[in-house]
Amino acid sequence: MRVQLALFASLSQYLPEAAAEDRVSAHAQMVDLPDGTTVGQVITTLDLPDEPRIVFVNGRHAPDEHTLAEGDRLAIFPPVAGG
């Protein structure tokens, strides 16, 4: 299945290499994943740092156990602070 993967801020360095046609933007690309892949499996496969993160699937908060589907948009952000 194909999913749009977007990694923001310091996490963008973990995007896998992609062909030009798979690039959506500087921080997002289309990736091929096996059917039934969960958010947590993507995080583990990418070897993202074990730190708090904010995860959205199709614009809604999603836990690591969420199973992805064809055409989903997975966005992962590092912790954000401001003031």
pLDDT in tens, 4-14: 999 999 999 99
- Dihedrals phi, psi of 64, to nearest 5 degrees: -60, -25
Taking the model in full, what pTM does it have? 0.90
Band of the pLDDT at 83, cuts 50, 70, 90? low
Residue 18 class from Cβ within 10 Å (0-12 exposed, 13-18 middle, 19+ buried)? middle
More confident residue, 32 or 80: 32
Helix (H, G, I), strand (E, B) or coil at 72: coil
Residue 51 — very low, low, confident or very high, per pLDDT cuts 50/70/90?
A: confident
Region 35-53: what's the mean pLDDT?
Answer: 95
pLDDT the model gives residue 1: 97
